[in-house]
């Protein structure tokens, strides 16, 4: 089981498309390549941007559509081609005319929830532009739930006692943590929540907790957001967050991996996810994507879905045929044919297979939406009103200030290989370091002024005596004081010598642990383009094992001081295997920027964890 | 010059021939709308599939419209701008729309009932408030809302919403009270009891079926609610029905209606709207007046 990152999938999809374009010929009919989604032949291509958790399902439906009579148009045929795109990322791109992205501008947009359509229209309206989304078909559903390991849920009274955001806030601020519920062995209460600017689960959870704070189920207003008790409640909930992130799969994969070692209860107590993810997890497929040859294995400690008693929201998976100037009449006709196709009862049965609730009432709810998978088909019992778009935008703005503060050490590789051009065919083009510098500087904007951030660079033979493996360029300080200095120092970096990866990671970790701040997310962002190369490879294996042992010991609950190491593998030479071992050991996540051109996106995704 | 005149004469003959053919064609297809073409119909929101079925079967013009009570159906200018021969809606939308016509000249003629069903409710959990014991009365819905239940009764102000809300509103009145005595806030609390955006019956029924938690109760035609999985159907006491009608425009032909609504595909669409084809009686003028007053009160 490996973390499947959006970025990786996008890169893979793009690569496939390029290969298909290179190999594909003309000819009508389309779909002649292996996966059935590369070569449209003479058909009109209908590009579909979909939220990543349903990409497998959408591809399966697209293949069937493309091969069926349903794709026939009055004049020609339609060829649907889905690709994954995070809901928040797509909303941002659409609001800016879909410029500067490697994926084609979509004809259909299917975010996880229609909240994103409302947010997009609000942003367009504020910019004086026309709405891009209108009424849409909701072709499948899945409610936002709070996933908890079954024993923890039982300790809170599940399934007889309703549980909600108020219980979460209470536990989050309890100085005794789980001891207050008779389980001191579980330590403090730890919550996993994705970043609401990227993730629908994060957005729905934010809306849910805010309604709970306001004591409402409808008509949430911007005035409510300013109320002291609402702000306090939100900060109480956020205080328990282990880290944020762009996708819920990071939490689920980490939970699943720690489950094997029997430490899943120490990693996280609860994570806000879609109901579908609980089903996937309990079926042994935590990220919902089965890699070729991957065997499913049920977890030792299953999850159960808590439907917050204050109410929740559905991810309603709308299919928007966009009112955009790049969508012509034929593309629109093809898009509408596909929208009709996915609603057919036979196709809605597939929706159910993937753990979603069908949008077609002719398809009854049945397995896998069942108690055996930790979910309750009769829940939720209460739904919340989707707030007005302006309120959601205000909510997102306020969250940036209310989220848990971070304490982060940026650890950047300045080894000699970073001076290599990003494109070997263009030696005069930008070097890897130059692109990384640009990306790092841009990502600084994601930190808030009260986050503490420092910069360490590593290579061999650094320092006045040329005997150091790293230099602390800037100590960890509040961004309010460090922001400009960080930009300048990052801009000034130059490539040096070797890559003492293990030494710098180990010592950076020690430093972060020694100055651990329990009120913050404590983390290291490690960027490297290579493998450990400190001039002595005889002890590499021992160094790595020592590092992993230390990370595991400290992150599996022994001292309850988690310091996460988020690693970015930069370029094609980065040692992915080693970096994944490091991130897994610290219950964080690995991010691949094998294509250096993606480094800005990847850096932003990494910073979304804070 | 002769050549020019010959061409002009030929063109005129062609034009006459086209007109004659159009008229004949209109007669041949059995239509009876204005000018002999197929009638143009409009449907209230939620009933569009019936308009589509009529068009697909060739009984009406494919260019059907959707409109409802309020500024559209009651504005002669709107209807005049379009050739609308009949309006497929819930009874008594036509008389209610006529009350609103500024000129006082009715726009809509007497309707024909094409299907009906008693107003009923479906609930996912047993209801236990006042009036909920068998035989259930409509006050049960009000007491359930006071106990926190959410109810789907449509959009207030639309004919769909008015006929679904009417039994509940009337149940709050004592024998000697009229609609003018209505506790509007109480009725509004029922109409606004759900966090979901109100919609027509078809849309709300779909939501009720696929989104657990959206509504505890849905009110609508009994035939449409019959068989909803996981819900109990009850028809509370009182004589309330939802009657589907074809309301012709004043002066428009009604000859096509009987044949059209005998067609199997059209009957299927009528059933899908939640009523039994071929049944129903029309509300009298007093009833229409009461519903008009109800709408005025709750939309004020």
Length of chain A: 610
Q: Give yes or no for a contact between B151 and B141, defined as CB atoms under 8 angstroms apart.
A: yes
Ordered domains of chain A (ranges, CATH): 6-135+318-354 (3.40.190.10), 142-314+385-398 (3.40.190.10), 405-607 (3.40.50.410)
Give A232→chain B minimum CA distance, Å: 25
Residue A356: closest CA among chain B residues belongs to which residue?
B210
Pull the structure tokens for residue A371. 């108690």
Q: Is the dihedral of CA A231, A237, A239, A242 positive or negative?
A: negative
In this complex, which of B196, B209, B213 lies closest to A381 when CB atoms are compared?
A: B213
Edge-to-edge strands, sheet with A563-570: A468-478, A452-462, A406-413, A521-528, A563-570, A590-593
CA-CA distances (angstroms) from residue A162 to A156, A307, A347? 9, 8, 35
**What does the mean pLDDT of chain B come to?**
87
Start-end of H helices in A87-183 = 87-95, 115-126, 150-155, 165-173
Closest CA to A285 of A194, A190, A355, A201: A355
Task: Give tens-digit pLDDT for A143-167.
Answer: 999 999 999 999 999 999 999 999 9
Q: Is the dihedral of CA A112, A115, A121, A122 positive or negative?
A: negative
More confidently predicted of A495 and B80: A495
Determine the pLDDT at residue B76. 58
- Rounded CA-CA distance B83/B87 in Å is 11
Q: Is the peptide bond before B135 cis (omega within 30 degrees of 0)?
A: yes
CB-based burial of residue B104 (10 Å sphere; 0-12 exposed, 13-18 middle, 19+ buried)?
exposed
A308 interfaces chain B, CB cutoff of 8 Å: no
Task: Give tens-digit pLDDT for A313-358.
Answer: 999 999 999 999 999 999 999 999 999 999 999 999 999 999 999 9
Would you call A357 and B210 a contact, using CB atoms and an 8 Å cutoff? yes
- Rounded CA-CA distance A430/A205 in Å is 41
B196 interfaces chain A, CB cutoff of 8 Å: yes
Contacts of B211 in chain A (CB under 8 A): 141, 314, 383
Task: Give tens-digit pLDDT for A418-428.
Answer: 999 988 888 88
- Size of the A and B interface in Cβ pairs below 8 Å: 39
More confidently predicted of A555 and A598: A598
Determine the pLDDT at residue B36. 58
User: CB under 8 Å to A595, separation ≥6 — which residues?
Assistant: A11
User: CB under 8 Å to A214, separation ≥6 — which residues?
Assistant: A220, A224, A227, A230
- Rounded CA-CA distance B165/B175 in Å is 18
Would you call B211 and A379 a contact, using CB atoms and an 8 Å cutoff? no
Pull the structure tokens for residue A591. 């991010």
Within 10 Å of residue A68's Cβ, how many Cβ atoms? Answer: 11
Residue B22 scores a pLDDT above 90: no
Residue A138 scores a pLDDT above 50: yes
DSSP states of A180-241: GGT-GGG-S--EE---TTT-HHHHHHHHHHHHHHHT-SS---HHHHH-HHHHHHHHHHHTTB
Contacts of B195 in chain A (CB under 8 A): 217-218, 311, 383-385
CA-CA distances (angstroms) from residue A580 to A3, A588, A600, B208? 9, 9, 20, 45
Length of chain B: 300
Would you call B229 and A217 a contact, using CB atoms and an 8 Å cutoff? no
In this complex, which of A217, A364, A383 lies closest to B211 when CB atoms are compared?
A: A383
Contacts of B274 in chain A (CB under 8 A): none
B189 interfaces chain A, CB cutoff of 8 Å: no
B86 interfaces chain A, CB cutoff of 8 Å: no
Contacts of B210 in chain A (CB under 8 A): 141, 357-361
Give B161→chain A minimum CA distance, Å: 20
A contact test, residue of B191, B208, B213 with most A CBs within 10 A? B213
Contacts of B202 in chain A (CB under 8 A): none
Determine the pLDDT at residue A338. 98
Q: Is the dihedral of CA A393, A398, A401, A403 positive or negative?
A: negative
Q: Give yes or no for a contact between A430 and A421, defined as CB atoms under 8 angstroms apart.
A: yes
Task: Give tens-digit pLDDT for A189-227.
Answer: 999 999 998 889 999 999 999 999 999 999 999 999 999
- Beta bridge partners of residue A321, listed in sequence order: A108
A334 interfaces chain B, CB cutoff of 8 Å: no
Highest-confidence segment of A400-414, A558-572, B29-43? A400-414
B134 interfaces chain A, CB cutoff of 8 Å: no
Would you call A312 and B213 a contact, using CB atoms and an 8 Å cutoff? yes
Element (H, E) at A565: strand A563-570
Within 10 Å of residue B37's Cβ, how many Cβ atoms? Answer: 17
Determine the pLDDT at residue A287. 86
Contacts of B205 in chain A (CB under 8 A): 361
Contacts of A360 in chain B (CB under 8 A): 210
CB-based burial of residue A222 (10 Å sphere; 0-12 exposed, 13-18 middle, 19+ buried)?
middle
Contacts of A141 in chain B (CB under 8 A): 210-211
CB-based burial of residue B58 (10 Å sphere; 0-12 exposed, 13-18 middle, 19+ buried)?
middle
Closest CA to A1 of A209, A258, A242, A235: A258
Contacts of B230 in chain A (CB under 8 A): 378
Residue A217: closest CA among chain B residues belongs to which residue?
B195
- Rounded CA-CA distance A247/A326 in Å is 29
A360 interfaces chain B, CB cutoff of 8 Å: yes
Would you call A383 and B229 a contact, using CB atoms and an 8 Å cutoff? no
Query: Percent of chain B scored above 70 by pLDDT?
Result: 84
Q: B-contacting residues of A 363-402, CB under 8 Å?
A: 364, 377-385
Residue A526 scores a pLDDT above 70: yes
Contacts of A378 in chain B (CB under 8 A): 124, 212, 230
Residue B167 scores a pLDDT above 50: yes
Would you call B210 and A379 a contact, using CB atoms and an 8 Å cutoff? no
Determine the pLDDT at residue A35. 62
Pull the structure tokens for residue B88. 């497929």
Torsion of CA B53, B57, B58, B59, to 10 degrees: -70
**Strands of B124-187, DSSP E:** 151-152
Contacts of B124 in chain A (CB under 8 A): 378
Closest CA to A271 of A167, A146, A165: A146
In this complex, which of B196, B209, B212 lies closest to A379 when CB atoms are compared?
A: B212
Torsion of CA A551, A555, A558, A560, to 10 degrees: 130
Task: Give tens-digit pLDDT for B202-239.
Answer: 999 999 999 999 999 999 999 999 999 999 999 999 98
Contacts of A352 in chain B (CB under 8 A): none
Would you call A385 and B195 a contact, using CB atoms and an 8 Å cutoff? yes
Q: Give yes or no for a contact between A175 and A157, defined as CB atoms under 8 angstroms apart.
A: no
Would you call A383 and B230 a contact, using CB atoms and an 8 Å cutoff? no
More confidently predicted of B10 and A451: A451
In this complex, which of B195, B209, B210 lies closest to A384 when CB atoms are compared?
A: B195
* DSSP single-letter state for residue A415: -
* DSSP single-letter state for residue B194: S
Query: Quick one: pLDDT band at residue A548, thresholds 50, 70, 90?
Result: very high
More confidently predicted of B71 and B217: B217
Determine the pLDDT at residue B73. 62
- Rounded CA-CA distance A150/A406 in Å is 30
Determine the pLDDT at residue B15. 46
**What does the mean pLDDT of chain A come to?**
90
A contact test, residue of B195, B198, B203, B226 with most A CBs within 10 A? B195
Task: Give tens-digit pLDDT for B269-280.
Answer: 999 999 999 999
Closest CA to A231 of A452, A446, A401: A401
Residue B299 scores a pLDDT above 80: yes
Determine the pLDDT at residue A2. 39
Q: B-contacting residues of A 216-255, CB under 8 Å?
A: 217-218
Residue A28 scores a pLDDT above 90: no
Task: Give tens-digit pLDDT for A32-74.
Answer: 455 668 788 899 999 999 998 898 899 999 999 999 999 999 9
Contacts of B206 in chain A (CB under 8 A): 361
Closest CA to A196 of A207, A188, A187, A185: A207
CB-based burial of residue B296 (10 Å sphere; 0-12 exposed, 13-18 middle, 19+ buried)?
middle
Q: Give yes or no for a contact between A139 and A316, defined as CB atoms under 8 angstroms apart.
A: no
Radius of gyration from C-alpha coordinates of chain A:
24
A135 interfaces chain B, CB cutoff of 8 Å: no
Residue B149: closest CA among chain A residues belongs to which residue?
A382
Query: Percent of chain A scored above 70 by pLDDT?
Result: 93
A314 interfaces chain B, CB cutoff of 8 Å: yes
Burial string for A539-567 (b: 16+ CB within 10 Å, else e) reads: ebeebbeebbebbbebbbbeeeebbbbbb
Give A379→chain B minimum CA distance, Å: 6
SS3 B128: coil
CA-CA distances (angstroms) from residue A536 to A417, A496, A503, A533, A581? 18, 17, 12, 7, 21
Residue A25 scores a pLDDT above 70: no
Residue B20 scores a pLDDT above 60: no
Contacts of B229 in chain A (CB under 8 A): 364
Q: Is the peptide bond before A368 cis (omega within 30 degrees of 0)?
A: yes
Residue B106 scores a pLDDT above 80: yes
Give B213→chain A minimum CA distance, Å: 4
B contact test, residue of A162, A361, A370 with most B CBs within 10 A? A361
Residue A10 scores a pLDDT above 50: no
Would you call A380 and B212 a contact, using CB atoms and an 8 Å cutoff? yes
A264-278, B2-16, B87-101: range with lowest mean pLDDT? B2-16
Give B104→chain A minimum CA distance, Å: 37
Contacts of A381 in chain B (CB under 8 A): 212-213
* DSSP single-letter state for residue B36: G
Give B124→chain A minimum CA distance, Å: 9
User: CB under 8 Å to A566, separation ≥6 — which residues?
Assistant: A523, A524, A525, A526, A583, A588, A589, A590, A591, A606, A609
Ordered domains of chain B (ranges, CATH): 11-115+243-285 (3.40.190), 117-241 (3.40.190)
B212 interfaces chain A, CB cutoff of 8 Å: yes
């Amino acid at each position: 089981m490996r973390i499947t990152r959006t970025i990786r999938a996008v890169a893979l999809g793009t690569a496939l498309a390029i290969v298909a374009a290179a190999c594909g010929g003309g000819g009508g009919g389309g779909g002649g390549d292996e996966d059935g989604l590369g070569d449209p032949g003479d058909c009109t291509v209908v590009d579909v941007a979909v939220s990543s958790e349903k990409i497998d399902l959408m591809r399966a439906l697209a293949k069937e559509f493309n091969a069926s009579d349903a794709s026939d148009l009055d004049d020609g045929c339609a060829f649907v081609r889905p690709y994954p795109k995070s809901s928040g990322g797509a909303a941002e791109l659409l609001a800016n005319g879909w410029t500067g992205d490697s994926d084609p501008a979509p004809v259909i947009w299917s975010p996880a929830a229609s909240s994103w359509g409302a947010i997009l229209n609000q942003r367009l309206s504020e910019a004086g532009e026309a709405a891009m989304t209108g009424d849409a078909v909701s072709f499948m559903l899945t409610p936002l739930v709070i996933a908890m390991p079954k024993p923890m849920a039982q300790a809170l009274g599940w399934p007889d006692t309703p549980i909600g955001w108020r219980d979460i806030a209470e536990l989050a601020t309890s100085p005794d943590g789980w001891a207050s519920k008779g389980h001191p062995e579980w330590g403090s209460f730890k919550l996993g929540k994705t970043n609401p600017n990227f993730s629908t689960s994060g957005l729905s959870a934010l809306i849910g907790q805010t309604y709970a704070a306001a004591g409402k189920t409808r008509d949430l207003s911007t005035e409510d957001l300013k109320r002291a008790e609402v702000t306090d409640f939100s900060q109480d909930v956020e205080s328990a967050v282990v880290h944020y992130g762009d996708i819920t799969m990071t939490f689920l994969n980490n939970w699943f991996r720690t489950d094997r070692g029997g430490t899943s209860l120490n990693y996280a107590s609860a994570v806000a996810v879609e109901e579908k993810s609980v089903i996937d997890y309990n079926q042994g497929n935590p990220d919902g994507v089965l890699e070729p040859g991957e065997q499913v294995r049920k977890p030792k400690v299953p999850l159960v879905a808590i439907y917050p008693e204050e109410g929740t929201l559905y991810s309603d998976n709308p299919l928007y045929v966009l009112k955009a100037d790049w969508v012509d009449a034929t593309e629109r006709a093809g898009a509408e044919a596909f929208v009709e196709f996915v609603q057919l009862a036979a196709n809605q049965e597939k929706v159910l297979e993937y753990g979603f609730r069908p949008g077609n009432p002719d398809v009854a709810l049945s397995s896998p939406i069942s108690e055996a998978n930790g979910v309750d088909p009769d829940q939720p019992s209460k739904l919340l009103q989707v707030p007005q778009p302006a309120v959601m935008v205000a909510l997102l703005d306020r969250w940036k200030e209310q989220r848990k503060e971070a304490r982060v050490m940026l650890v950047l590789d300045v080894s000699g290989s970073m001076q290599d051009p990003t494109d070997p065919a263009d030696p005069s083009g930008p070097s890897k370091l130059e692109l990384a510098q640009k990306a790092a500087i841009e990502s600084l904007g994601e930190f808030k002024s009260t986050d503490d951030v420092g910069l360490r660079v590593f290579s061999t033979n650094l320092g006045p005596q040329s005997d150091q493996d790293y230099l602390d360029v800037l100590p960890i300080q509040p961004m309010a004081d460090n922001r400009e200095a960080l930009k300048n120092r990052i801009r000034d970096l130059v490539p040096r010598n070797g890559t003492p990866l293990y030494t710098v990671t180990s010592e950076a970790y020690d430093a972060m642990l020694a100055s651990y701040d329990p009120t913050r997310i404590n983390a290291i962002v490690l960027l490297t383009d290579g493998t450990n190369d400190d001039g002595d490879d005889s002890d590499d294996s021992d160094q790595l094992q020592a590092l992993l042992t230390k990370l595991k010991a400290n992150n599996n609950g022994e001292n309850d001081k988690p310091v996460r190491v988020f690693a970015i593998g930069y370029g094609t030479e980065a040692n992915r295997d080693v970096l994944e071992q490091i991130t897994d050991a610290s219950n964080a996540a690995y991010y691949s920027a094998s294509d250096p051109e993606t480094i800005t996106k990847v850096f932003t995704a990494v910073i979304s964890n804070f | 010059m002769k050549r020019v005149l010959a061409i002009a004469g030929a063109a005129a003959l062609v034009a006459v021939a086209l007109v004659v053919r159009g008229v004949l064609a209109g007669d041949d297809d059995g239509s009876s709308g204005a000018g002999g073409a197929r009638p143009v119909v409009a449907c209230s929101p939620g009933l569009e599939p019936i308009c589509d079925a009529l068009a697909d079967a060739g009984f009406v013009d494919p260019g059907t419209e959707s409109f409802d009570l309020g500024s559209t159906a009651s504005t002669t200018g709107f209807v005049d701008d379009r050739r609308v021969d009949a309006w497929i809606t819930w009874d008594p939308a036509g008389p209610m729309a006529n009350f609103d016509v500024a000129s006082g000249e009715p726009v809509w003629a007497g309707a024909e009932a094409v299907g009906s069903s008693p107003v009923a409710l479906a609930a996912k959990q047993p209801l236990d408030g006042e009036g909920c014991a068998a035989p259930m009365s409509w006050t049960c819905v009000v007491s359930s809302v006071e106990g926190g239940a959410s109810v789907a009764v449509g959009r207030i102000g639309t004919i769909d919403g008015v006929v679904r809300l009417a039994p509940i509103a009337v149940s709050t009145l004592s024998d000697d009270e009229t609609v003018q005595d209505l506790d509007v806030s109480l009725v509004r609390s029922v109409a606004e009891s759900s966090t979901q955006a109100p919609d027509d019956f078809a849309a709300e029924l779909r939501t009720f079926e696929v989104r657990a938690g959206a509504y505890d109760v849905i009110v609508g035609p009994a035939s449409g609610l019959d068989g909803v999985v996981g819900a109990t159907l009850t028809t509370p006491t009182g004589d309330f029905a939802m009657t589907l009608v074809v309301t012709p425009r004043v002066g428009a032909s009604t000859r096509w209606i009987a044949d059209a609504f005998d067609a199997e595909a059209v009957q299927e669409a009528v059933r899908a709207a939640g009523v039994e084809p071929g049944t129903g009686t029309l509300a009298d003028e007093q009833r229409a007046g009461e519903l008009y007053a109800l709408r005025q009160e709750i939309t004020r």
